[in-house]
Amino acid sequence: MSASAAHDHALAPNDLEAFWMPFTANRAFKKKPRMVTGAKDMHYLTADGRKVLDGAAGLWCCNAGHNRDPIVSAIQAQAGELDYAPAFQFGQPKAFALAARIAALAPGDLDHVFFANSGSEAVDSALKIALAYWNITGKGSKTRLIGRERGYHGVGFGGISVGGIVPNRKFFGSLLTGVDHLPHTYNREKQAFSRGEPEWGAHLADELERIIALHDASTIAAVIVEPMAGSTGVLPPPKGYLQRLREICDKHNILLIFDEVITGFGRLGFAFAAERYGVVPDMITFAKGVTSGTVPMGGVLVRKGIYDAFMQGPEHVIELFHGYTYSAHPLACAAGLATLDVYRDEGLFERARALEGAWADAMLGLKDLPGVLDIRTLGIVGAIDLAPAKDAPGKRAFEAMDRAFHEFDLMIRVTGDTIAVSPPLILTESDIGAIADRLGKVIRAVA
């Protein structure tokens, strides 16, 4: 096969069976593929030359847009300089530089970064750090983990155990033992068509007191929540809710972990949602936006007191028996440093804050379309709940996703019968208008 023929085959493969696609209706996709072959800035490109407006920032991750020249150049240069370096017992400069840059963005004394390769690995790392911390500080009975209904914390066994999305859990056995869940924070009757944080629901944090009374604080290691529950359908935190969780965890000596895999790096107008809400958790998990989706990377920000507790004993002994072959991979670190430069130089976090009102206006402007049950907005994120098709839950939103791509040149995410939109933070007011206009056409088409 010639080089040009091989290239054409890669763009339009004639055998789709070998790839078992993740979180995808494989049979439906392979009958009618939604294939992209390139990307630039706010758009994906298709083999037939269409420009598809990216309303999802890839998978919540391409916050700086696609194929940004500074990031591409940094990855290319790094590949020619140092392809791989072990992170066990050896180091490379960009790992330390990136950790320092990320720690500088975090609030309070979240001064240390443990690198992983995805949000799922970041969550499992944070849970293990929490359990190990209580062990080494003489409180080994603190082993219970508390998640939240409708929470998404990746797909590792730890993450799905503390997570609360039923299809992600029910096929995989009994999962981790010693896990309990807070109730989710969404009530359509009380919160419908809220702009930003809903007024109703802060009291739901007090359910943590009930769980503590049931199990006793001496058995509970950590509480993990997403500041904004994203993958379940965009559930903004009620006003005062996260602050109340922090108060309860402090009262009972329980670690609080914010899963900011989605909310980190500008999605809510700040480097981290913790800053937006004035809450300093004990750990923050991150991924996605740290490299704007270009090279896989995740990690955990850890408060100084937790890190220091591990730095005891003989200096030649490993302090934490945990890590990954590709932790702080050189290409990922180069991408991360360049991405943080783009965020800083272009003021993308500030841009998100400035555009939040216009974004909310555009999304809530769709409320009177047929079949729309609720709309939620926060930062540069929106969710639209559609009335489900009779006897076929999820089918209407699936059709919306499919038709958006094929007919209206728009990429969106769906979960159940909820459309979720979270475009790159380089968007303009014109892009906001285009996304809203195309969404309106999609909603009418599937009504």
Residue 247 sits in a domain of what CATH number?
3.40.640.10
Question: What values do phi and psi take at 182, rounded to 5?
Answer: -70, 155
Domain end position, chosen among 283, 314, 344 = 344
For 73-82, what is each residue's pLDDT tens digit?
999 999 999 9
**Integer Cα distance of 137 and 306 in angstroms:** 10
| 13 and 124 assigned to the same domain | no
Q: Which residue has the tokens 């943080």?
A: 340
Share of residues in the chain with pLDDT > 70 (%): 97
Bridge-partner residues for 255, per DSSP?
222
CA distances from 93 to 153, 191, 266 (A): 30, 48, 26
| 266 and 220 assigned to the same domain | yes
In this prediction, residue 3 carries a pLDDT of 60
Question: What values do phi and psi take at 290, rounded to 5?
Answer: -60, -30
- Where residue 10 falls among pLDDT bands split at 50, 70, 90? low
| 255 and 362 assigned to the same domain | no
For 108-160, what is each residue's pLDDT tens digit?
999 999 999 999 999 999 999 999 999 999 999 999 999 999 999 999 999 99
Query: Residue 9 above 90 pLDDT?
Result: no
Query: Residue 419 above 80 pLDDT?
Result: yes
- Read off the amino acid at residue 14: N
Domain end position, chosen among 326, 344, 362 = 344
Give the CATH number, domain containing residue 356. Answer: 3.90.1150.10
In this prediction, residue 147 carries a pLDDT of 98
Query: Residue 414 above 70 pLDDT?
Result: yes
In this prediction, residue 242 carries a pLDDT of 98
| 129 and 234 assigned to the same domain | yes
Question: What values do phi and psi take at 275, rounded to 5?
Answer: -70, -40
